[in-house]
Amino acid sequence: MTMRIDLAPKLDFRAAEALLGQIRAARGSDLVLDGAAVDHLGVQAAQLIMCATQSWIKDRKAFDIEGLPDAIHAQLAEMGLSHDDMMKERAA
């Protein structure tokens, strides 16, 4: 079963803590993060999502982020990242 998490509009440090709880609860299931409502993505939330990606890859479960607005892609670029960077496997 695929679980979905609707991401908060402002993914700052406080929102990252709440998102961590949601992600932990979804562990073991395929997961889609719906980013359509996001208008701010902070570094902590980006790091959390990248770590979650690694966990899902390790668990051999599907993980995706859908619907990120162009403004968020621009914020990722300012961090030196892209959507693809967020979703790829990292060396251990």
Interval 18-42 mean pLDDT = 97
| Other Cβ atoms closer than 10 A to 77 | 11
Tell me the sheet residues that pair with 5: 33
Interval 69-92 mean pLDDT = 87
Q: What are phi and psi of 8, to 5 degrees?
A: -70, 155
Nearest CA to 31 among 47, 55, 11, 9?
55
Question: Which amino acid belongs to residue 3?
Answer: M
pTM: 0.91
The pLDDT assigned to 51 comes to: 94
Domains and CATH numbers, the chain: 2-87 (3.30.750.24)
Measured CA to CA in angstroms, residue 9 lies from 14, 77, 90 at distances of: 12, 18, 27
Q: What is the pLDDT of residues 32-63, one digit of tens each?
A: 999 999 999 999 999 999 999 999 999 999 99
The pLDDT assigned to 85 comes to: 84
The pLDDT assigned to 92 comes to: 56
